[in-house]
């Protein structure tokens, strides 16, 4: 049997892709198609926003031309795949002539003619218009947000609004924004979407106002501090045909998503325990984060992140949650939560005035996953087993501030009319808000 392998992004699958796949298929008896992962444009400096990797795999499968479909995850994988699958021919489009000659050492390399007059780039330009985004709030995270948008196609940060006009003008000058809105309504008059990076207690009203104006909303985490408010906002977004997404950068990072996918596929067996922590000794200059009247404290400031791996792997239907906190002036300097599930137990530790390890350990029946501190900026993790010879280490690249991944997914949801993202489901955001609400109401709570 003569085996052929080819690779591509297959974004916005078109006739040119199909023609190339058919030509590759005709070279042998068995065609393997490698679909590159969601960061295929990273080296070119841009992240596309149309089809995610699962959608692209399904599109290739629907052609009926591929005998096997694999995901291309890392540089150098082509050589590994050629040897792993005993490939005879590597086929690729003629626009890559000469670039893959080095593979002749492992198999025959064939450059196939491309279909003239059509490409994914041309289709994207025809189908997609810029989305104008208005930034609400000018704090630390907003300062990181604007530069990150430059790495995602079709994003235009058009305006900024802040109750402090002086800060808004300084922000606009620094990031070369054309408009400083004098009111929130004026901002919304001039944009298609808003990025909300204001203090926690303002999120609900600002999200609601934007959704009622049929504006897409990307809101910093925590989305809101009450479960019923989160549910109301997501229902309002879908009713008005717009996207509401919580901006949790870890949920959208490539390494974290690969970690979750591998564990769900059974890499360490059945998960029975998750222990996760995060802490930051910020000091007195960060007054809002330590102010009870502004929803300061460890739970509200950090809680969404440790809850993320728990809800992704164990689900949202926990049996009970007990919360233990060290309080000062109405603010939790340290909080520990213990969650019981039907077939497991999870714990999280949060600190703004107490330092913890800051790692993530996921224990399974076959082995465990270890993500070192700072696990929420995941770029490396290990699978460890009783037989240490089976241990595996995984390395990934964390680009910039990491916000480009959530921006890419937000744009993808807008263009594809998806009201929820698999990276952070609406029900998971609601569950996080429920935990915030339980803490706020001091249910199953004990001060230490």
> Tens of pLDDT along 406-423?
999 999 899 888 999 999
Q: Which pLDDT score is estimated for 169?
A: 97
The Cβ of residue 213 has, within 10 Å, a number of other Cβ atoms equal to 16
HSE, side-chain direction, 13 A CA sphere, residue 368: 13
Separation CA 213–CA 371 (nearest Å): 41
Instruction: List, for the chain, all residue ranges whose pLDDT scores fall below the cut of 70.
Output: 38-50, 116-128, 282-286
Q: What share of the chain is helix, strand, coil (3-state, %, to 5)?
A: 40, 25, 35
> Which runs of E-coded beta strand occur in 118-248?
131-136, 155-161, 179-180, 193-196, 216-220, 244-247
Contacts of residue 90, defined as CB under 8 A and 6 or more positions apart, other chains included, come to 4, 5, 6, 78, 82, 100, 103, 106, 107, 108, 109, 110
Return the domain boundaries, the chain.
3-123, 129-250, 267-397
Separation CA 106–CA 334 (nearest Å): 56
Write down the architecture of domain 3-123 according to CATH: 3-Layer(aba) Sandwich (3.40)
Separation CA 376–CA 28 (nearest Å): 45
- Strands of 131-136's sheet in order across: 179-180, 155-161, 131-136, 193-196, 216-220, 244-247
Q: Which pLDDT score is estimated for 129?
A: 76
HSE, side-chain direction, 13 A CA sphere, residue 150: 10
Q: Which pLDDT score is estimated for 44?
A: 47
Separation CA 289–CA 156 (nearest Å): 30
At the fourth CATH level, the homologous superfamily of domain 129-250 is NAD(P)-binding Rossmann-like Domain (3.40.50.720)
End-to-end alpha carbon distance in the chain:
68
**What is the pTM for the complete model shown?**
0.82
Q: Which pLDDT score is estimated for 38?
A: 67
Contact at 8 Å (CB) between 423 and 257?
yes
Do the domains at 129-250 and 267-397 have one common CATH topology?
Answer: no
Q: What is the CATH number of domain 267-397?
A: 3.30.360.10
Separation CA 8–CA 17 (nearest Å): 9
Contact at 8 Å (CB) between 198 and 137?
yes
Contact at 8 Å (CB) between 349 and 336?
yes
What are the backbone dihedrals phi and psi of residue 91, each rounded to the nearest 5 degrees, phi first?
-120, 140
DSSP state of 421: B
Separation CA 191–CA 158 (nearest Å): 7
């Amino acid at each position: 049997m003569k085996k052929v392998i080819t690779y591509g992004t297959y974004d916005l699958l078109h006739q040119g892709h199909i023609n190339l796949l058919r030509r590759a298929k005709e070279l042998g008896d068995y065609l393997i198609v490698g679909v590159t992962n969601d960061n295929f444009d990273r080296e070119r400096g841009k992240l596309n926003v149309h089809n995610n990797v699962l959608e692209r795999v399904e599109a290739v499968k629907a052609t009926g031309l591929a005998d096997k479909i694999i995901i291309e995850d890392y540089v150098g994988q082509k050589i590994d795949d050629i040897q792993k699958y005993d490939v005879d021919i590597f086929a690729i489009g003629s626009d890559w002539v000469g670039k893959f000659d080095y593979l002749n050492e492992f198999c025959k390399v064939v450059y196939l003619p491309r279909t003239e007059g059509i490409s994914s780039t041309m289709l994207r330009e025809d189908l997609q218009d810029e989305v104008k985004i208005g930034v609400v709030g000018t704090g630390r995270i907003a300062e990181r947000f604007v530069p990150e948008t430059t790495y995602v196609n079709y994003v235009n940060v058009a305006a900024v609004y802040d109750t402090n006009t002086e800060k808004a003008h300084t922000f606009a000058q620094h990031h070369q924004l054309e408009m400083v809105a004098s009111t929130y309504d004026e901002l919304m008059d001039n944009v298609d979407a808003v990025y909300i990076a204001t203090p926690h207690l303002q999120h609900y009203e600002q999200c609601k106002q934007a959704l009622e104006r049929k504006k897409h909303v990307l809101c910093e985490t925590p989305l809101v501090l009450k479960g019923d408010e989160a549910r109301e906002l997501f229902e309002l977004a879908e009713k008005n045909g717009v996207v509401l997404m919580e901006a949790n950068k870890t949920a959208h990072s490539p390494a974290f998503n690969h970690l979750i996918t591998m564990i769900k596929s059974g890499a360490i067996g059945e998960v029975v325990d998750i222990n996760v922590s995060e802490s930051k000794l910020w000091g007195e200059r960060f007054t809002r984060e330590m102010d009870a009247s502004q929803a300061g404290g460890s739970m509200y400031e950090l809680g969404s992140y440790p809850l993320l791996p728990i809800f992704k792997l164990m689900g949202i239907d926990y049996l009970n949650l007990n919360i233990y906190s060290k309080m000062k002036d109405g603010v939790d300097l340290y909080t520990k939560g213990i969650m019981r599930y039907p077939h497991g137990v999870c714990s999280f530790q949060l600190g703004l005035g107490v330092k913890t390890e800051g790692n993530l350990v996921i224990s399974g029946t076959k082995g465990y996953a270890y993500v070192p501190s700072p696990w929420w900026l995941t770029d490396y993790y290990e699978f460890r087993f009783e037989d240490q010879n089976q241990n595996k280490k995984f390395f990934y690249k964390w680009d910039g501030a990491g916000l480009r991944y959530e921006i890419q997914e937000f744009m993808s949801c807008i263009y594809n009319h998806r009201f929820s993202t698999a990276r952070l489901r609406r029900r998971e955001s609601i569950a996080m808000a429920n935990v915030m609400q339980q803490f706020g109401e001091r249910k199953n709570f004990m001060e230490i």
